[in-house]
């Protein structure tokens, strides 16, 4: 968890752990900034005799920590969670602490601070703010516990008794009940949900608690023009979906032609219901139906032509008429098969497959109803009825790793042949706009592409199957992973409809209620799920051997292999971004040069580019499935390539579920790396990272060689970090090649042994503090030399991060040749003679309730704010009047900003007299955007915070100091030095039309011997390519004479 590894982290969570463990021991480090968490070293005495959660830091590298994990599982009274790198979370009796600390490989043991249990709400630019009246509705808080229900009952722990504790702390009446074997649900009035969540987070046995967002279907009505358009231009839309998934060609269906139609496959689906009298599903055979959670026996429809089981989840409302028809449309795209030949052009992508259906609709409310534990209550029923694929066209709008992500990853990890697909969301083209369900590592998240131009009434001007739909949600996730995974057609899709009449038997062409036109990632996901069924049939029926069916050669593919085929089939697409065109619309940017990309993942699914079908395929397909690799081991596969064509390799593996504590840092646990070495010795790393950089975040990697040179290509799978021991992987390779070749040697020796880095295929991967080709460090610009890389930040996120450096600080930013994003806010606060330290949270002057007495602040510098979530109807005043301030200048800098937009405000005024009876308003601030630094030429300065009586949010914090701040502009290719006399300010990048310039090389040095805090409240850069680096620097380089 070294600070050098920090990317897109959440300030109050993992960064706190990193600072406490790695930095707190340094005597020169100043006090932590507000918002950081104090880590208490655990002791065996002085702690009450009950179970608590503890953090363990270990130092065993790679899979050697597997032994520690096994020991901890024997000692822990609850699940053992892992937070990369090398941190475990366990549940212990306090009396066990000393013994655990003495285990080989354990560095130390800490109590888990309550701040790590929180998950701040995500706010993106696409979020719509509006007035919300005081609500009497209920919210559901889900809390994952550090013990199982069985352990709790053995220890006579009754979670219902927590209601009294919560009542005492919050005044709220709540209902608490077990929701699964290790989680509870708490029903509370919506207005006090955040208070109750905070109270739960203080409880020792709560692992994580958060308000459960409402789950919605992810479809959009087609445009009115399209819905009213010429029927002749809407009659082939599901056919086009099927053809485009197969071939990228609206008139070609090579997989169907080869007999791949989904026969023998069962696909699970959870949605609002199915109109069972539609001709796409109707069968006179009785339908096996049931209601409940988990696997329900004797709920079979073995002879029904389309449905093998229909289960209504407890709490949902059975609706065989499926109003308003979302589920019917989705299932029609997956596997609809019309009994009327005239309607067959609307059949699904896998028309001969069958469906195991989970009805999760609530017709009366319009929402969906999901059980608390999907791995226990949702997926087992369809899996037991033969479903190895599960399609889900719904989700929330929280693009980070949550308990739902955990459930998805756990079930898929425990059942390696079960593939989950989730709609990416319809919040595009804004970045980080996906859902927590699709943010799971093992889930195939599906974005939406535009349809064939003929599917639009106006002829589809500007539309193309090679464009990502403008509404399709984009990545990355909060921890920097690529999502969506792939893209399928999702715009203007015609499929089966519900007419809300259970016995109408609607089917005729043009008949109302027979088909419906919808758009959304809800429509793209079932198309991809149908494609996944064709992939499974391809392997089960042995097509991969000769390109034709050969059941004797069949195999049961893992979900990782199906995923690898899907990503391997991807083609790059043009996409919309916030580079606005002349009309003020989002601009359509050209397809990225390499994949994956945050707009589309691995691109548009095109299955006949990977599934070998004999002589018609201009390539050969090679697959490896469920191959085990041990820690520190490297597997290799050699291919003799003819050259002159594309050579491509795709790797996927099923990763263990992560703790939600990893949501803003890194959720990947088992880290493999794909490396391809060409005949000429060129080293190509997974996901096209260069210069010895490897992908540490994704469990899918790919290398594409557009025009291969002839000779031996060696494909290496490197077990870089396997804390849980051996890992299975799946590999897909295509090209004009033969396999079974002996691999080349993995590169020459690295220069100078790579210092504290790692030698990988002749390149140094700098994983320690070193930089440069041999990781030995290099000068920034004379006389400044990098002493330690403290943090690297990249990607698109709005949550905020702060990095303290105890000495002169260097901030560098480099961008590549691609068009940039909207950049960043990079603010510094110097620990200078004026600003001697950042106050601890306990001494920040904060407001968190009603009150009108102003708080007088006479010190030279300090912090003010709400101290987190604020109360309704709060009014607070800060009267800032620094002593000994001859310049009479005061600068104020917002560090955090999360207010209800348009209704809760921070007002800043200059005072015309010492009592502030006459003032001039400088500005009023609301919402989530961080305002620019405020400079007042008068003192005192009056800051007022006001909230209304409805919604509350995360609050604000602001630093102030006497003296003027400074904006420092980048001078490309030069180092801009800021003297220590500047109290604080902002580093600025050159901007062109709202984005930062390409090919930037900016460097700033804050020459503050006492150190500084860098605050980055918002960032928008191309992930892993355009990077902000924060370093500690010194005058005089190693090996050079000291400065005079």
Q: What is the pLDDT of residue 319?
A: 57
Q: What is the pLDDT of residue 365?
A: 61
Q: What is the pLDDT of residue 237?
A: 45
Q: Report whether pLDDT(493) > 90.
A: yes
- Report d(CA 669, CA 491) in Å as an integer: 36
792 contacts 4 by C-beta, under 8 angstroms? yes
- Report d(CA 175, CA 160) in Å as an integer: 8
Q: Report whether pLDDT(45) > 70.
A: no
Q: Name the residue among 520, 496, 171 with its Cα closest to residue 349.
A: 496
Q: Report whether pLDDT(225) > 50.
A: no
807 contacts 1034 by C-beta, under 8 angstroms? yes
Q: What percent of the chain has pLDDT over 90?
A: 40
> Average pLDDT of 215-227?
56
Q: Name the residue among 376, 406, 373 with its Cα closest to residue 658.
A: 406
Strand 138-145 and strand 183-189: the pairing is antiparallel
Q: How confident is the model at residue 886 (pLDDT cuts 50, 70, 90)?
A: low
pLDDT tens for each residue of 451-465 = 988 888 788 888 999
What share of residues in the chain are helix, strand, coil (percent, to 5)?
A: 20, 30, 50
Q: How confident is the model at residue 1027 (pLDDT cuts 50, 70, 90)?
A: confident
> Average pLDDT of 360-367?
72
pLDDT tens for each residue of 574-585 = 999 866 555 656
Q: What is the pLDDT of residue 31?
A: 26
Q: What is the pLDDT of residue 38?
A: 41
631 contacts 66 by C-beta, under 8 angstroms? yes
Measured between its terminal Cα atoms, the distance across the chain in Å is: 38
Q: What is the pLDDT of residue 36?
A: 34
> Average pLDDT of 383-398?
95
CA-based angle 981:986:990, to the nearest 5? 130
Q: How confident is the model at residue 450 (pLDDT cuts 50, 70, 90)?
A: very high
Q: Report whether pLDDT(419) > 50.
A: yes
Q: How confident is the model at residue 777 (pLDDT cuts 50, 70, 90)?
A: low
Q: What percent of the chain has pLDDT over 70?
A: 81
Q: What is the pLDDT of residue 558?
A: 98
- Report d(CA 327, CA 431) in Å as an integer: 28
pLDDT tens for each residue of 129-167 = 223 333 447 888 888 899 999 998 888 888 888 999 999
Task: Considering only residues 639 and 965, tell me which one the structure prediction assigns the higher pLDDT.
Answer: 639
- Taking phi first (over 0 means left), then psi (-120 to 50 degrees means alpha), and beta for anything else, what does residue 537 get? alpha
Element (H, E) at 244: helix 237-247
Task: Considering only residues 930 and 468, tell me which one the structure prediction assigns the higher pLDDT.
Answer: 468
Q: Report whether pLDDT(24) > 70.
A: no
Q: Name the residue among 773, 779, 691, 774 with its Cα closest to residue 975.
A: 779
Q: What is the pLDDT of residue 831?
A: 63
Q: Report whether pLDDT(5) > 80.
A: no
- Report d(CA 109, CA 719) in Å as an integer: 28
Q: How confident is the model at residue 506 (pLDDT cuts 50, 70, 90)?
A: confident
Q: Report whether pLDDT(320) > 70.
A: no
Q: What is the pLDDT of residue 135?
A: 41
580 contacts 822 by C-beta, under 8 angstroms? no
349 contacts 245 by C-beta, under 8 angstroms? yes
Task: Considering only residues 448 and 856, tell me which one the structure prediction assigns the higher pLDDT.
Answer: 448
Most confident of 370-384, 595-609, 903-917, 923-937: 595-609
Task: Considering only residues 490 and 44, tell me which one the structure prediction assigns the higher pLDDT.
Answer: 490
pLDDT tens for each residue of 898-949 = 898 899 999 999 998 888 889 999 999 999 888 888 888 888 899 999 998 8
The sign of the CA dihedral 917, 923, 928, 933 is: negative
Mean pLDDT, the chain, integer? 82
Q: What is the pLDDT of residue 1041?
A: 38
Q: What's the number of CA atoms in the CB half-sphere (13 Å) around residue 18?
A: 27
- Report d(CA 658, CA 179) in Å as an integer: 20
pLDDT tens for each residue of 834-859 = 334 444 433 456 675 555 567 888 88
582 contacts 221 by C-beta, under 8 angstroms? no
Q: What is the pLDDT of residue 820?
A: 65
Q: What is the pLDDT of residue 213?
A: 75
Which residues, in sequence order, are CB contacts of 674 under 8 Å at separation 6+? 649, 651, 685, 686, 701, 702, 703, 715, 716, 717, 718
- Report d(CA 199, CA 166) in Å as an integer: 6
CA distances from 129 to 8, 514, 585, 926 (A): 25, 38, 21, 11
Task: Considering only residues 777 and 137, tell me which one the structure prediction assigns the higher pLDDT.
Answer: 137
> Average pLDDT of 632-643?
95
Task: Considering only residues 426 and 23, tell me which one the structure prediction assigns the higher pLDDT.
Answer: 426
Identify the weakest region by mean pLDDT among 96-105, 464-473, 719-728, 1006-1015.
1006-1015
Q: pTM for this one?
A: 0.82
Q: How confident is the model at residue 806 (pLDDT cuts 50, 70, 90)?
A: confident
474 contacts 578 by C-beta, under 8 angstroms? no
Task: Considering only residues 1028 and 228, tell me which one the structure prediction assigns the higher pLDDT.
Answer: 1028
Q: What is the pLDDT of residue 826?
A: 81
Q: Report whether pLDDT(430) > 60.
A: yes
User: Which stretches of 570-646 are assigned E, i.e. beta strand?
Assistant: 575-577, 587-589, 620-629, 634-641
Task: Considering only residues 675 and 1025, tell me which one the structure prediction assigns the higher pLDDT.
Answer: 675
Q: Is 587 exposed, middle or buried (0-12, 13-18, 19+ CB in 10 A)?
A: middle
Cis ω on the peptide bond leading into residue 90 (within 30° of 0)? Answer: no
């Amino acid at each position: 968890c070294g600070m050098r590894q920090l990317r897109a982290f959440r300030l109050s969570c993992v960064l706190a752990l990193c600072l406490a463990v790695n930095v707190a021991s340094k005597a020169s480090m100043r006090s932590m900034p507000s918002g950081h968490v104090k880590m208490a070293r655990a002791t065996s005495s002085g702690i009450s005799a009950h179970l608590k959660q503890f953090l363990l830091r270990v130092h065993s590298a790679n899979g050697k920590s597997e032994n520690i994990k096994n020991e901890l599982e024997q000692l822990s009274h609850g699940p053992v969670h892992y937070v990369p790198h090398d941190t475990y979370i366990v549940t212990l009796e306090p009396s066990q602490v000393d013994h655990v600390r003495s285990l080989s490989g354990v560095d130390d043991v800490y109590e888990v601070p309550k701040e790590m249990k929180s998950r701040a709400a995500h706010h993106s630019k696409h979020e719509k703010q509006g007035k919300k009246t005081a609500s009497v509705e209920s919210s559901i808080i889900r809390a994952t516990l550090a013990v199982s229900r069985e352990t709790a009952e053995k220890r006579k722990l009754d979670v219902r008794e927590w209601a009294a504790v919560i009542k005492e702390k919050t005044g709220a009446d709540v209902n608490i009940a077990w929701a699964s074997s290790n989680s509870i649900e708490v029903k509370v009035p919506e207005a006090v949900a955040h208070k109750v969540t905070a109270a739960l987070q203080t409880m020792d046995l709560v692992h994580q608690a958060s308000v459960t967002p409402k789950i919605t279907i992810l479809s959009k009505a087609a445009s009115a023009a399209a819905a009213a358009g010429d029927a002749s231009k809407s009659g082939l839309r599901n056919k086009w979906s099927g053809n485009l998934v197969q071939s990228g060609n609206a008139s070609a269906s090579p997989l169907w032609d080869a007999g791949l139609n989904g026969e023998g496959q069962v696909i699970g689906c959870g949605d609002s219901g199915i109109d069972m009298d539609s001709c796409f599903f109707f069968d006179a055979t009785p339908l096996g139906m049931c209601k409940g959670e988990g696997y329900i026996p004797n709920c079979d429809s073995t002879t029904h032509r389309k449905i093998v089981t229909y289960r209504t989840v407890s709490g949902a409302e059975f609706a065989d008429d499926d109003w308003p028809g979302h589920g019917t449309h989705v299932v029609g795209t997956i596997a609809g098969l019309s009994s009327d030949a005239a309607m067959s052009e609307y059949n699904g992508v896998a028309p001969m497959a069958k469906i195991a259906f989970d009805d999760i609709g609530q017709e009366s409310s319009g929402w969906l109803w999901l059980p608390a534990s999907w791995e226990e209550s949702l997926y087992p029923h369809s899996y037991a009825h033969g479903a190895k694929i599960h399609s889900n066209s719904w989700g929330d709008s929280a693009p980070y790793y949550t308990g739902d992500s955990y459930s998805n990853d756990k079930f898929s990890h425990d059942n390696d042949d079960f593939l989950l697909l989730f709609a990416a969301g319809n919040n595009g083209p804004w970045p980080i706009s996906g859902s927590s369900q699709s943010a799971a590592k093992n889930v195939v998240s599906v974005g939406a592409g535009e349809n064939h131009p003929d599917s639009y009434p106006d002829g589809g001007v500007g539309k193309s199957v090679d464009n990502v739909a403008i509404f399709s949600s984009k990545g990355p996730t909060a921890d920097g992973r690529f999502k969506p995974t792939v893209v399928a057609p999702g715009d203007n899709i015609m499929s089966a409809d519900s007419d809300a009449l259970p016995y109408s038997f609607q089917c005729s062409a043009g008949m109302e209620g027979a088909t419906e036109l919808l758009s959304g990632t809800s429509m793209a996901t079932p198309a991809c799920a149908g494609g996944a069924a064709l992939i499974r049939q391809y392997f089960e029926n042995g097509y991969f051997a000769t390109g034709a069916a050969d059941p004797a050669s069949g195999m049961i593919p893992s979900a990782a292999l199906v995923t690898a085929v899907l990503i391997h089939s991807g083609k790059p697409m043009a996409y919309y971004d916030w580079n606005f065109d002349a009309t003020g619309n989002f601009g359509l940017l050209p397809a990225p040069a390499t994949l994956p990309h945050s707009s589309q993942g691995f691109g548009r699914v095109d299955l006949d580019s990977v599934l070998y079908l004999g002589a018609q395929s201009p390539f050969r397909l090679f697959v490896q499935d469920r191959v085990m690799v041990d820690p520190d081991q490297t597997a290799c596969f050699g291919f003799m390539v003819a050259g002159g064509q594309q050579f491509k390799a795709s790797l996927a593996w099923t990763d263990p579920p992560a703790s939600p504590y990893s949501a803003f840092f890194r959720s990947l646990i088992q880290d493999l790396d794909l490396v391809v070495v060409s005949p000429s010795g060129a080293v190509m790393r997974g996901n096209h990272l260069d210069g010895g950089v490897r992908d540490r975040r994704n469990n899918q990697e790919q290398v594409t060689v557009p025009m291969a040179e002839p000779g031996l290509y060696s494909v290496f799978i490197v077990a870089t970090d396997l804390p849980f021991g051996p890992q299975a992987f799946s590999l897909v390779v295509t090209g004009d090649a033969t396999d079974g070749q002996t691999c080349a040697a993995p590169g020459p020796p690295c220069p100078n042994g790579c210092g504290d880095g790692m030698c990988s295929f002749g390149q140094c991967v700098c994983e320690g503090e070193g930089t440069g080709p041999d990781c030995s460090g290099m000068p920034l610009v004379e006389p400044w030399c990098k002493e330690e890389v403290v943090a690297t930040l990249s990607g698109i996120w709005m949550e905020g991060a702060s990095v303290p450096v105890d000495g002169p600080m260097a901030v560098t930013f480099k961008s590549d040749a691609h068009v940039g994003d909207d950049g960043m806010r990079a603010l510094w606060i110097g620990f200078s003679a004026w600003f001697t330290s950042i106050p601890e949270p306990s001494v920040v002057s904060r407001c968190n309730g009603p009150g009108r007495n102003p708080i007088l602040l006479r010190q030279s510098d300090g912090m003010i704010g709400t101290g987190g979530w604020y109360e309704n109807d709060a009014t607070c005043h800060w009267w800032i009047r620094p002593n000994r301030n001859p310049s009479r200048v005061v600068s104020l800098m917002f560090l955090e900003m999360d207010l209800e937009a348009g209704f809760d405000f921070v007002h800043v005024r200059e005072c015309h007299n010492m009592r502030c009876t006459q003032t001039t308003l400088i500005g009023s601030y609301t919402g989530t955007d961080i305002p620019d630094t405020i400079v007042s030429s008068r003192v005192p300065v009056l800051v007022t915070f006001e909230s209304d009586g409805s919604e509350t949010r995360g609050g604000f914090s602001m630093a102030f100091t006497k003296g003027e701040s400074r904006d420092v502009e980048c001078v490309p290719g030069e180092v801009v030095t800021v003297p220590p006399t500047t109290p604080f300010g902002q580093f600025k990048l050159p901007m062109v039309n709202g984005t930062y310039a390409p090919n930037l090389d900016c460097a700033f040095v804050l020459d503050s011997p006492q150190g500084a805090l860098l605050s980055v409240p918002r960032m928008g850069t191309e992930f892993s390519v355009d990077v902000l680096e924060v370093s500690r620097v010194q005058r005089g380089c190693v090996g050079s004479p000291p400065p005079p």
